[in-house]
Chains A and B, each alone.
Chain A
C-alpha cells in the first residue's frame, strides 16, 4: 500500500502546456501503445522535457524523471543497499521503481551519464523488458505500463559525449528543434501572458543568437530563456534590461558576441 502511495506522487494532475509543432503527439502515442522506448533529440530548452510531461499527463501515467550526470552510477538508477540499525536494507532506484509500478521513466540528458552506467537500461529496452538486480539477486519484470524515454542533445561537439551504438539502436527517436517564429511567439505569449508584439520581438532576438551558433556560441537562446525574459518584462523590468539579463548574460562570456546581441536588443526594442 505504501508503494501505491509512493507512485501516485509521480502522477501529473494539471495539464502541462505544450504547443504541438508537427505530429509528435500522435507519433508518441503510437510508440507508447507498442511500449517502444523513445529517444528525444534536440537542443537545450526546446521543450523536450515539457513534451514528456505533457504526454505522461495525456496518457495518465506517472512520470519518474532522472537528471543524469557524470557522477551517476548504475546503482543510482537501479537501487542500492543502505545500512540501518538492523543491518542492510535495499532501496529501489528510480528505474526499478518505474519498472515495478508501471511509470514512464525519463532519463534527461542521458549523455551526461557515463557510458558504462547507461548499459543497465539495455535489458529493459528490448524484448526482455526485465531488470536484473544482481546485488539483490532479483529479476524485476517490467510492469505492462512501463516505458523508458531518454533525451539528449546532439549539439554537444564532443567525442566523449555520445551514446554507444548499442544504446542508440534500442530506441525510436524523435527530433525536436526550436519552433518556428510564429509558434514560438505563441508559446511565449501563452506561457507568460505577454503581448504578441513583445513576444515576437523576443523571438527575433532568439533567432539572432541561433544564427551565431557555431561561431562562438555553443547553443542559441532557448525557448525557455525567452520565457524567462518575458516573465521579467511582465514583472515590470524594462525590456532591454530583461533581455540582457535573461537572454545574453547566461549564454556567453565572449565580449564580441555579447556586444552583438546587446546591439540586436537595442535594434529590436526601441
Chain B
C-alpha cells in the first residue's frame, strides 16, 4: 500500500491552490482507483503541472480524472495526459481546461473505453478542421470554435449519441467554412441551424415524426382533436416546462426518450408516453369543469388538483382499463421516508396520495392517505362525480394531514414529479380586476389591407440535399406560394389564334388518343357475352363435322386514362432573353407553348396544373400558381399566363418538391411532372455550381419514389452537361426554340400515349 506521504512527494508543484486541494483529491482518488491508477493519476498531474499552462488545467485534472477513470477504466489516464500534452503543443492550449472539464460528462454518457477514445479523436479532428489554414498548411492560428465546442459538449452528449454528435460537429464545420463568427454561434448552440440539427440528431421519439399517430390516437380513442404545440426541454435547465392545455392547443415536449423500466412494467416507449399524456389531458377535457380558485389556499388547490387528476383518470380507466398499467409505470413511486426537521414534505405526501389513488397495490401506511383513498373510491363507485366533489376531499385531506413543517422553504422533491400530467391551468378560474364591469371596447382602427390572402401565407420549409456532406440540410429553403397576378386574357387568345393550324393538327392526334370507354375483346374462350357471329360460325363448323372454334365469347375492357399532369415553369431571369436567330423571347415562346399544351390537355380531359417558380436565395423561393388541377382552362387562367414574367434565379429542388407535394395528392394512376426550364439550377447564394444540381437530382429521385414521373424539357442547347445528371434519361433538349409551341404538346402526347 502506497502511503499518502509517498505519493505526495512525487507531485512537485508550486501552485498554492493545487497544494491546498491535493490531499482531498488524492483521498478521493484512492477511494475510486487502484494503486496503479493512483500512481498514473499523480504522474499525470505532474506532467500537466510541468506543461506551464497555469494552475487551472492541473486543478481540473485533479478533480475530474478519478471519476473518468472509474467510469471507463484506468488506462485512460495515460491517454488523456498524452492528449493534453499534444494539445499544449498546438496554438490551442487555452482549450485545455474546457477539454478536461468535458471529460467527466463524456465518460458518464459514453461509458465504454472505445467510445471515449473516439470522443478524444473527435475533439482532435474538430480542432484540426476548425483551425484556419494558410495555403493548405496547418498554420499558427488558433481554432476559435474549439473551446466553444468543448463547453457545449457535456450538454450535447446528454442529448445525442456519439454518432449524432459527430454529425452535428460535421455540419457545423461544413456549414460555415468562411464565417468563423457564425461558426462560433453554431458551436455555442446559439444559432437556429445548430438547434435544428441537434433536434434532427436527437435520440428518442420526436413529436414531429409521430404527429399523425397522436392525431389518430386523439381522434380514435377520445373523439376529439387538438393542435400540438411542442416546446423543448433541452434549453430550459432551471425550470422545466410542464405540459399544459390552453385555447391554442396542447403544449407538450418536442421529444420523449423511452421511459426506463419500472418494477411493475417494462419500459414505456416514447410514443406511449405521448399517449399517456394525451389520455390524461383528454380525460380532463371530457370530465373537468372549471372552478373558482380564489377561495382556496395554494396547498388546498394542489390537493384538489391531485383528487381531480385521479378522478378523471379513474373515469378514463373505466373506459380503457389498459391505461392503468401505463400510468402506473410513469407515475413515480415515492417511498415513505423519515421526516427531517425543517423540510416540507407536502409534495411528497401528495405524490404518495396520488400514487395510492392510482395504484391499489401501493402499500402505504399513512393513515390519512388510507382514509381518503377509501373515501375517494367509495365516491367514485357511487358514480356521478364532478370536479366540485373533489373540493371537499382536497380541503379535508390537506387540513387533516397538515404538518407544521409544510410551509418550510425547503421542499422535499424526490420522486414527486408526475411528468405525464398537465399543470391543470384550465381547471381554475380566477376572479380578476375588471371582471365585474364590461367596458365598451373602442372600435379598433382598421388594419391596413395586405396585398391579399396568399401574401400572408407562412412559408413552407423544404430540406435541401448537401452532396458534400451527404445529408439533408433540414428546413433549409423557405418557399412562398402565390397566385400569379392576372393580365389580359385576350393576349393568349391571340397566341392561340396564331397557331390555329397547329391546333388543328393537334386536335387530330387528340381525337385518336382520347379514351374510348369500352373496347370489345372478341374471340375469348371465356367472356361476359356470347359473340353470336362467331358462335354461329362455330356451330356450323360443328354441325358440318369440322373442329369448331371454342372461342365464341367476347368481353369488354375499360380503356380509361388516368393521368394527372403538373407543368412546372422556370421563370428565372434568363427566360427573358431572345435566343440567337429568333424574333421572340423565350418567355413569349413559352407562353405560346404552354397555352397550346393547356388547351390540348383540356381537350384530353386530364387533370392539369401549371405552376412557375423563381428564387432569390434560399430564404425566398416563390412558387406561383397559374392553374389548379380542377380549374377550367378559361379566361382567368389565360390572364395569369398572359402576365407571366421573368426574374431572379432557379432553385429547382424546392420547387420540384413542392409541385410533387400537390401532384402526390392527386388521385390518378399515372402522375407526370413536366419541367420546362432554360438553364441549370443556380442561385446567387450558392457558389458551388454542383450543389443545386445535386439537390435537384435528389428531389427527382424523391418524386420517383412517390410514383411521380418527372420529365424535363430544356431550352438550353448546352443542357446535356447537366440535365442527364438530374433527370436521368427523362429529358428532351429543344435546340430549335422556335419550334417549342409545336414540340411541347407533341412531347406531352408522346409521353402519355
A residues with a Cβ closer than 8 A to B are 71-73, 75-76, 80-81, 83, 87-88, 204, 208-209, 211-212, 215-216, 256-257, 259-261, 263-264, 266-270
Contacts and interface: CB of A to CB of B under 8 A. Distances in A.
Interface string B534-565: 01001100000000000010011000000000
B530 interface: yes
Interface string B211-227: 01101110111010000
Contacts of B530: 75, 80-81, 83
A264 B539 contact: no
B319 A263 contact: no
A212 B271 contact: no
Interface in B266-283: 271-272, 275, 279
B256 to A, nearest CB: 15
Given A259-B213, A270-B325, A80 B219 contact: no
A231 to B, nearest CB: 23
B381 to A, nearest CB: 17
B321 A268 contact: yes
A269 B322 contact: yes
Q: Which 8 A-B pairs have the closest CB atoms?
A: A267-B322, A267-B320, A208-B220, A73-B528, A260-B216, A256-B213, A270-B321, A212-B220
In this complex, the interface size class of chain B, counting residues with CB under 8 Å from chain A, is 20 to 34
Interface string B338-358: 000000000000000000000
A208 B219 CA distance: 8
B529 interface: yes
Majority DSSP secondary structure for residues of B touching A: helix
12 contacts: A80-B529, A81-B535, A83-B530, A204-B320, A256-B213, A260-B220, A261-B220, A263-B217, A263-B221, A267-B279, A267-B323, A270-B325
B625 to A, nearest CB: 24
A264 B221 contact: yes
Contact of B216 (A83, A212, A268): A212
A268 B325 CA distance: 11
B32 interface: no
Nearest to B217: A260
A88 B319 CA distance: 65
Contacts of A256: 212-213, 216
A12 B325 CA distance: 49
A211 B212 contact: no
A88 B539 CA distance: 9
Given A83-B552, A211-B220, A257-B216, 11 more contacts: A75-B529, A81-B530, A88-B539, A204-B319, A211-B221, A215-B219, A256-B216, A260-B221, A267-B323, A268-B321, A269-B322
Contact of B272 (A76, A208, A263): A263
B528 A75 contact: yes
A267 B221 contact: yes
B70 to A, nearest CB: 42
A13 B321 CA distance: 43
Contact of B324 (A76, A81, A270): A270
A81 B531 CA distance: 10
Max chain B C-beta neighbours (<10 A), residue from A80, A88, A208, A269: A208
B619 to A, nearest CB: 33
Given A76-B528, A81-B530, A215 B320 contact: no
Given A263-B217, A263-B275, A270-B324, A83 B529 contact: no
B226 to A, nearest CB: 14
Contacts of A264: 220-221, 320
A215 B324 contact: no
Max chain A C-beta neighbours (<10 A), residue from B216, B223, B528, B535: B216
A212 B223 CA distance: 9
B215 A215 contact: yes
A200 B86 CA distance: 72
Contacts of A71: 528, 555
Contacts of A259: 213, 271
Nearest to A208: B220
Given A260-B220, A261-B220, A263-B217, A83 B535 contact: yes
A39 to B, nearest CB: 25
A211 B529 CA distance: 44
A270 B220 contact: no
Given A73-B528, A83-B535, A259-B271, A270 B322 contact: yes
Contacts of A216: 216
B217 to A, nearest CB: 5
A17 B212 CA distance: 40
A85 to B, nearest CB: 9
A212 B220 CA distance: 5
A270 B317 CA distance: 11
Contacts of A72: 528
Given A75-B528, A269-B322, A270-B321, A83 B539 contact: yes
Max chain A C-beta neighbours (<10 A), residue from B215, B220, B555: B220
A257 B538 CA distance: 56
Contacts of A263: 217, 221, 272, 275
A216 to B, nearest CB: 7
B657 to A, nearest CB: 22
B216 A267 contact: no
B322 A268 contact: yes
A113 B223 CA distance: 35
Nearest to A85: B542
Given A80-B529, A80-B530, A259-B271, A267 B321 contact: yes
Contacts of A81: 530, 535
A205 to B, nearest CB: 9
Nearest to A73: B528
A67 to B, nearest CB: 16
A135 to B, nearest CB: 9
B741 to A, nearest CB: 33
Contacts of B279: 267
A198 B320 CA distance: 13
A260 B321 contact: no
A87 B528 contact: no
B527 to A, nearest CB: 9
A209 B552 contact: no
A40 B216 CA distance: 31
Nearest to A82: B530
Given A211-B219, A260-B220, A266 B528 contact: no
A268 B323 CA distance: 8
A209 B275 CA distance: 17
Nearest to A76: B528
A105 to B, nearest CB: 20
A87 B539 CA distance: 7
Contacts of B223: 211
Nearest to B223: A211
Max chain B C-beta neighbours (<10 A), residue from A80, A216, A263, A269: A263
Nearest to A160: B560
A75 B527 CA distance: 11
B221 A208 contact: yes
A84 B269 CA distance: 68
A256 B320 CA distance: 20
B532 to A, nearest CB: 8
Contact of A266 (B213, B322, B535, B555): B322
Interface string B421-463: 0000000000000000000000000000000000000000000
Nearest to A220: B220
B322 A260 contact: no
A270 B325 CA distance: 8
A83 B614 CA distance: 68
